[in-house]
Amino acid sequence: MKILSVDTKPFDNQKPGTGGLRKQTSVFLAPNFLENFIQSAINARTADGQMLNTWVVGGDGRYPGMQFLPKIIKILVANGVQKVLVVGRDFVAPTPAISHIIRKYKADGGFILSASHNPAGINGDFGVKVEMDNGGQATESFTNALYEQTKVISSYKTLDIGDVDALELPNVEYVNPIKDYADLLESMFDFDAIRKWFADGHTFRFDAMNASTGAAAHEIFVNRLGARPEWILRAAPKDDFGGVHPEPNPTYAHEIYDFMMRGGADFGCACDGDGDRNMILGNGFYVKPSDSLAILAKYHKLVPYFQSGLRGVARSAPTSSAVDAVAKKMGLDVYQTPTGWKFFASLLDAGRINLCGEESFGQGADYIREKDGIFAILFWLNILAKTGKTVEEIVREMWDENGRFFYCQYSYEGVDKSAADDMIRRVSNANLDGRKYGDVTILRKEVFEYTDPVTGEFVTNQGIQILTDNGVRVFCRLSGTGTVGATVRFYVERFESDKSKFDVPVTEYLQDVFQFVDAVFEFSKNFGDIRPSAIN
């Protein structure tokens, strides 16, 4: 087999964001765009002379992943990779299952072809998550090294064989991710108890949103736990997700949300495009992801995998403090990291934490290095089965014991980028401590920065945090996963101990906080009176 060296020129827009490199599909289809990025990742990975033996390639099934697969195989083999493990013949798998394959087969790393919760198809987005040998996303320092490579790349290696032949190379092995993944999760949770919960007549719905989780959900919930097949909705994967925006929140997964709010089943849930996020719904009841994390921590003892206890927990800084209250009672350390799962990996590797989560509908633990939607759903089913309580009872008890952290995340997607950058810069640099807005005084405003307690890696500009004298915490940052313009995210929380107020609707309860945020950030002054595109 002849190895070819193909000349290329750098692209100036290949810096990975919060979760890998994410672009409009049309951008990825430009000649050499994919090839440059893949070769740059290999260059960064082998810069110290280390050879790559085994490499995993998987994806959430979106277009044009299948077309890209042979091109990636050829580049990997031309660069000396001995074995390419392709996850599934049909090449559709949830991100957590792929993370598990990397770990199980002791691979040197992997590529996950996914833009996660972003819409797919020719008019949607595509992405590549670069995974390390721990099955977790590229660290901040590796990401920077990769980016440097993309700026100077002048050629990439490939093989002079056709795409069809590449798929049949002797170096290529196909692994079935569903069985491995289902076995792993079955070993962690009390499947007997959950089977009984289903057998007792409880009803369930899972929305796979035409994306990557349908097959795994069918294997786990139907085959192994006894749920009815028709309870798995939109299970067949489509390469454009059928036009669905596969983000499991009340805005984009409104079908199952509305169904559950009408009291459609005892338990409802959904995953995002690549299966690492989840939404939890009870009968007529929506669970905020931050509360969900706190509840998993509270009930961890009911789960066989956590029998020996939690060592510590972590949440991203914009996530609500509900988990802190629960963890404090258990005497556990709580780490606050920047947004993005990559910041949890070192804490998980070092054994400082074994449970973590983000407000953006993601929780996970130390058995892999990605968040995992079906993990969180099984955790909830395990809790319901062992306690005999409803979702709503579980959440209300947590509020009664710890108080309620009223919390809201709202995003403005696709706004003008330079105006958004200006806003962040202005508020970052402004001296706001002690400043009054109506009756509210800002106690402290800080630009969130983080030193990884394990690796010593330092990052700054991870968002703006504001604390006020009336117990409000505001966080603001720009998304690192959007592909058009900028996405501004605001996160607000306020603690309430008065039980009589627990039923006030969140947006009503936080109304004056939204006004305060607008005054500080001068949002409507600069962007006009626009509505947030998602409120969670």
Binding to ligand VG1 (CB under 6 A) within 345-374 occurs at 358, 360
The single residue among 480, 518, 526, 534 that binds ligand VG1, judged by CB under 6 A, is 480
- 272 near Co ion, judged by CB under 5 A: yes
The single residue among 479, 490, 494, 513 that binds ligand VG1, judged by CB under 6 A, is 479
Residue 70 or 177 having the CB closest to ligand VG1: 177
Token look-up 């796979």 returns: 208
- 315 near ligand VG1, judged by CB under 6 A: no
Active-site residue, 500 included: no
Residue 70 or 318 having the CB closest to ligand VG1: 318
Number of residue whose CB is nearest ligand VG1 = 116
- 19 near ligand VG1, judged by CB under 6 A: yes
Ranges assigned E (strand) in 272-368 = 278-282, 285-287, 313-316, 334-337, 355-358, 362-365
- 150 near ligand VG1, judged by CB under 6 A: no
Residue 324 or 359 having the CB closest to ligand VG1: 359
Does residue 64 have a cis bond before it (omega within 30 degrees)?
yes
As a whole number of angstroms, the distance between CA 194 and CA 88 comes to 28
- 277 near ligand VG1, judged by CB under 6 A: yes
Least spacing, CB of residue 358 vs Co ion, in Å: 11
Nearest to 415 by CA among 487, 481, 479: 487
- 276 near Co ion, judged by CB under 5 A: yes
As a whole number of angstroms, the distance between CA 140 and CA 142 comes to 6
Q: Tally Cβ neighbours within 10 Å of residue 200.
A: 9
Q: Is 431 helix (H, G, I), strand (E, B) or coil?
A: coil
- 337 near ligand VG1, judged by CB under 6 A: no
Residue 227 or 256 having the CB closest to ligand VG1: 256
Task: Specify the DSSP class assigned to residue 288.
Answer: P
Q: Tally Cβ neighbours within 10 Å of residue 411.
A: 21
As a whole number of angstroms, the distance between CA 286 and CA 270 comes to 12
The single residue among 116, 290, 346, 363 that binds ligand VG1, judged by CB under 6 A, is 116
Least spacing, CB of residue 327 vs ligand VG1, in Å: 19
- 288 near ligand VG1, judged by CB under 6 A: no
* Beta strand pairing call for 204-207 and 440-447: unpaired
Binding to ligand VG1 (CB under 6 A) within 194-233 occurs at none
Partner whose binding site includes residue 239, from Co ion, ligand VG1, none (CB under 5 to 8 Å by kind): none
Nearest to 489 by CA among 532, 528, 522, 457: 532
As a whole number of angstroms, the distance between CA 76 and CA 11 comes to 20
Catalytic residue among 99, 116, 360, 411: 116
Binding to Co ion (CB under 5 A) within 104-133 occurs at 116
Residue 125 or 266 having the CB closest to ligand VG1: 125
- 493 near ligand VG1, judged by CB under 6 A: no
DSSP labels, 202-245: --EEEE-TTSS-HHHHIIIIIIIT---GGGEES-S--TTGGG--
Partner whose binding site includes residue 119, from ligand VG1, Co ion, none (CB under 5 to 8 Å by kind): none
Residue 28 or 299 having the CB closest to Co ion: 28
- Considering only the stretches 61-69, 197-205, 270-278, 428-436, report the one whose residues sit in contact with ligand VG1 under the rule CB under 6 A: 270-278
Contact 270, 206 (CB under 8 A): yes
Counting Cα atoms < 13 Å in the Cβ hemisphere of 403 gives 15
Residue 282 or 373 having the CB closest to ligand VG1: 373
Q: Tally Cβ neighbours within 10 Å of residue 373.
A: 32
Contact 320, 472 (CB under 8 A): no
Kindly list the residues in this chain that would bind Co ion in the complex (CB under 5 A).
Answer: 116, 272, 274, 276-277
Kindly list the residues in this chain that would bind ligand VG1 in the complex (CB under 6 A).
Answer: 18-19, 116-117, 272, 276-277, 316, 339-341, 358, 360, 479-481, 489
Active site residues: 116
